[in-house]
A = this chain, B = another copy of it.
Amino acid sequence: MREALLETAIDHFGRLGFEGAGTRAIADASGTAMSSITYHFGGKHGLYLAAADHIASSINEMQQHSLEAIASGEPADGAEATQRCLALLDNFALMMLSPRTERWARFIIREQQQPTEAFERIYTLAMRPLVEALVAFASLARPDLADREVRAMCMLLMGEALVLRAGYASVCRTLGIERIDEEAAALLRRKLAANARCILTATPAPENG
Contact between chains at B151 and A175 (CB < 8 Å): yes
B206 touching A168 by the CB < 8 A rule? no
Residues of B within 8 A of A198 (CB): 198-199, 202, 206
Closest to A152 in B: B191
A105 to B88, CA, bound (A): 28
Instruction: Known A156-B163, A166-B162, A167-B162; judge A148-B199 contact (CB<8 A).
Output: no
Chain B neighbourhood of A174, CB < 8 A: 131, 135, 151, 154-155
Cα(A153)–Cα(B113), bound, Å: 25
Copies of this chain, how many? 2
- What is the size, in residues, of chain A's interface with B at 8 Å between Cβ atoms? 63
Contact of A156 among B106, B112, B160, B169 (CB under 8 A): B160
**Please, how many angstroms separate the alpha-carbon atoms of A113 and B111 in the complex?**
14
Considering the complex, give the chain B residue whose CB is closest to the CB of A202.
B198
Name the residue among A162, A166, A191, A193 with the largest chain B CB count within 10 angstroms: A191
Instruction: Establish whether residues B159 and A167, one from each chain, have CB atoms under 8 Å apart when the complex forms.
Output: yes
Chain B residue nearest to A193 in the complex (CB): B209
Which stretch (A1-9, A16-24, A46-54, A68-76) binds chain B? A16-24
